[in-house]
Chains A and B, each alone.
Chain A
Amino acid sequence: MLTLQRLIAELLGFWEAEGCLIEQPFDAPVGAGTMHPATFLRVLGPEPWRCAYVQPSRRPADGRYGQNPFRVAKHLQLQVILKPSPEDVQEIYLRSLERLGIVAAEHDIRFEEDNWESPTLGAWGVGWQVVMDGMEITQFTYFQQAGGIDLAPVSAEITYGLERIAMFLNKVDSIFDVPWTESLTYGEIRQSEEAELSKYYFEVADTGLASLLLDRYEAEARKALEAGLLIPAYEATLVCSHQFNVLDARGAVSATDRVGLIRRVRDLACACARAYVSNRGGTPVPVTEPEPATAI
């Protein structure tokens, strides 16, 4: 049995051996691993970069009170960025699966077109869903643009859906039956949290508060940018993004509001991206020699 814990350790070990810096999860609610500064900011600019990290991803609207076997308000992504994208990136990815005991020749592994887009981040990429034996297990994207800026070099973004992979490898019917460790299941750790989060996001969350926070953190982001403080500004932007998701889950976003709200968050994200590109936010960035064209 490959526990969730072991699965994470194996993947992080694999990518560490591929030269990735192992980051830690972003310490505030975000919707996807892409939003972590280690992805969103580092894919900008010319410096090479390799990182891997687990990111709990918070999507309030996906909550199902812990009753649905596949959907949860918070799921775990394992995010990998390889910048610039190596020539044999697909082969490296398949070797990561081998690390999990998946022998490619014994499975049906296909790269099926799926292009990813995040309107709130002004980001989009071109790539695939990796489908193994009918199941989508990884989003595989060549990042083309972030914060409205075209990327050069281009980063390969590999995002594993950890619970899904664990369910699939362990052949359990419910996410909550996934073995987190050999003695404790995912449900024992998270099911009641899921019930509480769902009730909160669908029934209890104060929409007035969420709206207020969105407005105030938007202003805060601008203030931080003016003060030349990129990271606090970007963190404030991510608060806005999350509060938008909270409002949405409560059904408090009207059709016309939606467009305007997305635009506001996007504008902040793009401002942060521009600030990063123009002076790297003042924080020193490891500047190394660009990797030679033939990758590791």
Chain B
Amino acid sequence: MKRDDFLFEIRTEEIPAAELAGARQDLARGITDALSDERLAPEDVESYATPRRLVVWAKNVPDRQPDRETEVLGPPAGVAFDADGKPTPAAEGFARAQKVDVSDLAIVESARGRTVAVRRTVPGRAAAEVLCEIVPRVVGALTFAKTMRWGAGERPFVRPVRGVLALYGGRVVPMEVLGVPARGSTVGHRVLSNGDVPVAAPSEYLQRMRGAYVEPDGEARRAAILDSARRLAAAVGGRIDADADLAAVLADLVEWPGLVRGSFDASYLELPEEITTTVMRVHQKFLPVRGLEGLLPYFIAVMDNAADRRGFIAKGNEWVINARLADARFFFREDSRETLESRLPELERLSFQDRLGSYAAKTARLEELAEAIAEAVGRRDLVDDVRTAAKLSKADLTSRMVREFTDLQGVMGGIYARAEGHSESVWKGIYDQYLPQGQGDDPPREDAGAIVSLADRFDTLAGLFRIGRLPTGSKDPYGLRRAAQGAIAIATARKWRIDWSPIARKALSLYPAELPGLDPGRAFAELETFFAERLRNAIERAGSSYDEASAVLEVGRWDFADAAERAAALTEARRRLDFRTLVLAFKRIRNILESEALPDPSPDLYREDAERALAADFLQARALLDDLVKGRRYSEALETIASIAPALDRFFVDVLVNAPEEDVRRNRHALLAAIRREFTKIADFSEIVVEK
């Protein structure tokens, strides 16, 4: 059996940058799995992507499937052959059906005993033949956020397909993908290369592409971009912010990672930095250049070209950025002529959501919620500030800056509030209201911002849940998961250990009773489940296992910060202490007790030493535990709880829990119930998974 490489390149019109990585991985995995299923597994697989091509290079693929032995069973031997060993009509019929001679029939041992069979060797198919089948199927099965049709409009894909290169060893694999036949050549860079680029063998591909100004390796493009950017920035005494995200996006916008530096009018540096960097990064995808004292009037831009031969590219980009900054400055100046307060009436006309009314209505709710949250977290002193911040929090949505640069919502509000002389608490409260933006992002810097952010999140969640717009597995257009995750992150970061359910209920109640959709009770139930799922995610992401998260959530789910702390303590304690005995005991207790309501145990009903010993240990532990739990010293509390395990174990061995005497039985149940009640304040240990 020989092995050779298989190279596949599907060439398209520009694929959106956000889809590229996923498409590359899915294609590689799809082809690898399909080859393995066909017993042609490659030894290694590499994959590449540029906006105009997806590439898979499967190394050392066997040139042929291994032969396969098949066996078709027929009638039992006793029926197929008579006493003299001659074949019967049964045998003849079977042989005919199988298109073989009776003399080719074999006798095998099967589940039915000695059976007649036809054995065949199915020769393995050639790799090229199999590839012609599986590759088009894998490509057709790729999924994208959006697909489109083109030309006659028959076959959808992410973008129109323009060419296919498929080589096995040195030969073209004659497949057809989405109506395009494979060839042994491809094309290079759209403007820097002319005509076909023939590829004689898979091992040649990378070199040939680089010679045609295409760098197929996204990682290499990204590294080249960062590298050149640093040098270009250093040449003017600056550096670029380590902007991994932007560099990754830029790498997926070009086939050849050229870079160019340009400058803009230094007078724009008088604008707040947030504006200048947003205009550069979000709109133009430029990398800003920073000096020791702040931004420098330069930018670094990526170009899908090797060099800016006539200087047009730098000039063009400079013209654009100066125009955009002029726009921004115009908007900033126009906006600064009005106060945030004076914008409030316009919020009546700005819709928050079809059924949930305007931003003016939202603002009114936010003021109420912010006040309630401030009181709940013990910052009554901030009530005035958060009400002000809440009232002004959405005013910037009517500003020119935010209408043009929606990323700057909140930030512009904060900047304008600061310029108007509002207190730091108020302007930072507005500025930070949308934080955290995603996982791993920082929460608001101060309490006022945290309160405003929480109010906004609870209000949005409550409203959308009330009208039944719950997120599904694949669709979350209002970003409700992020909203809830952020709320949990804020509560945890600020260590606000309160039960948030009253705030959730209040948020739901601030919407009109007649709002069509779910009634507040049902909406609350959904919200509770939703928050619990997000809390579980947060706990598991922090390192707890699924069952530890369950144990902790079983006991309390509306105090996010506390749940996170309990989970961390439990996970850490479980590594140190032996919980196995304890867990098994609690599972047993759960099974015994079901849902009886029981009073405290009576000492005079104890009969055995083991139950007295358990009771004594329990009383001692309970006294300690109260203080520890109140003080949230969860690690020590867990140690105390674990210390009762031997007595519990002894109890189950020596004592018959379901004693014949009614009162003794009930008392033993009562003792176990008391133990469970006290000891599951941190976590429900019966949820933990252990081997028996």
- Mark A residues whose CB is within 8 Å of B: 68-70, 84-87, 90, 94, 104-113, 115, 125-128, 132-135, 142, 144, 150-154, 156, 168, 171, 173, 251, 253-256, 258-259, 293
Contacts and interface: CB of A to CB of B under 8 A. Distances in A.
Given A105-B305, A108-B313, A135-B316, A258 B160 contact: no
20 contacts: A84-B151, A86-B151, A94-B190, A106-B310, A107-B316, A108-B313, A108-B316, A134-B301, A134-B317, A142-B148, A142-B149, A142-B160, A144-B149, A152-B152, A154-B150, A154-B152, A173-B323, A251-B349, A256-B357, A293-B151
Contact of A132 (B152, B316, B327, B349): B316
A255 B253 contact: no
A87 B159 CA distance: 12
B13 A134 contact: no
B285 to A, nearest CB: 9
A111 B14 contact: yes
A142 B150 CA distance: 7
Contact of A110 (B13, B192, B254, B330): B254
A293 B180 CA distance: 12
The 5 A-B pairs with the shortest beta carbon distances in the complex, nearest first, are A133-B316, A255-B351, A108-B303, A113-B16, A126-B148
B512 interface: no
Contacts of B349: 251, 253-255
A110 B304 CA distance: 7
Contact of A134 (B192, B321, B358): B321
B333 interface: no
Contact of B284 (A87, A104, A134): A134
A107 to B, nearest CB: 6
B17 A90 contact: no
Decide if the interface of chain A is mainly helix, strand, loop or mixed: mixed
B516 interface: no
A128 B13 CA distance: 10
A104 B191 contact: yes
A110 B153 contact: no
Contact of A171 (B154, B260, B284, B315): B315
A251 B343 CA distance: 14
A142 B154 CA distance: 13
A251 B191 CA distance: 47
Given A105-B191, A106-B310, 16 more contacts: A84-B152, A87-B151, A94-B190, A105-B192, A111-B13, A133-B319, A142-B149, A150-B153, A151-B149, A152-B149, A152-B152, A152-B154, A154-B148, A254-B349, A256-B351, A256-B354
A255 B14 contact: no
B354 A259 contact: yes
Contacts of A253: 349
Contacts of B322: 173
A20 B62 CA distance: 52
A3 to B, nearest CB: 19
Contacts of A84: 151-153
B153 A152 contact: yes
Contact of A70 (B51, B317, B323): B323
Interface residues of B, number: 53
Contacts of B321: 134
Contacts of A111: 13-14, 51
B290 to A, nearest CB: 20
Given A106-B309, A107-B305, A112-B253, A134 B151 contact: no
A153 B312 contact: no
Contacts of B14: 110-113, 128
A225 to B, nearest CB: 27
Contacts of B162: 87
B146 interface: yes
Nearest to B258: A108
Interface in B61-118: none
Contacts of B308: 108
Interface of B: 13-14, 16-18, 51, 146, 148-154, 159-160, 162, 190-192, 253-254, 258, 260, 284, 301, 303-305, 308-310, 312-313, 315-317, 319-323, 326-327, 330, 348-352, 354, 357-358
A92 to B, nearest CB: 13
Given A70-B327, A152-B153, A154-B150, A135 B304 contact: no
Given A126-B148, A171-B315, A255-B351, A109 B320 contact: no
B252 to A, nearest CB: 10
Nearest to A156: B150
A252 B575 CA distance: 65
A115 B160 CA distance: 15
B316 A168 contact: yes
Contacts of B313: 107-108, 133
A108 B303 CA distance: 5
- Most A-side CB within 10 Å, residue of B258, B309, B316: B316
Nearest to B318: A134
B319 A135 contact: yes
Contact of B304 (A70, A108, A173): A108
A255 B191 contact: no
Contacts of A110: 14, 253-254, 304
A255 B316 CA distance: 39
B327 A153 contact: no
A69 B312 contact: no
A254 B351 CA distance: 8
B326 A108 contact: no
- Most A-side CB within 10 Å, residue of B258, B305, B357: B305
B386 to A, nearest CB: 26
A262 to B, nearest CB: 11
A127 to B, nearest CB: 8
A109 B192 CA distance: 12
Contacts of B159: 126
A171 B150 contact: no
A135 B277 CA distance: 18
A115 B253 CA distance: 16
Nearest to B189: A105
Contacts of A68: 327, 330
A115 B254 CA distance: 19
A258 B159 CA distance: 33
A171 B319 contact: yes
A128 B351 CA distance: 29
Contacts of A128: 14
Nearest to B350: A255
B191 A109 contact: yes
Nearest to A173: B323
Contacts of A133: 303, 312-313, 315-317, 319-320
A71 to B, nearest CB: 9
A253 B471 CA distance: 29
Nearest to B262: A134
Contacts of B352: 255
Contact of B150 (A85, A107, A251): A85
A126 B146 contact: yes
Contacts of B152: 84, 152-154, 293
A42 B606 CA distance: 92
Contacts of A173: 322-323
- Most B-side CB within 10 Å, residue of A152, A168, A253, A255: A255
A70 B343 CA distance: 25
A56 B450 CA distance: 49
Contacts of B153: 84, 150-154
A258 B16 contact: no
A95 to B, nearest CB: 12
Nearest to B162: A87
A34 B690 CA distance: 66
B23 to A, nearest CB: 13
A151 B320 CA distance: 36
A153 B151 CA distance: 6
Contacts of A153: 151-153
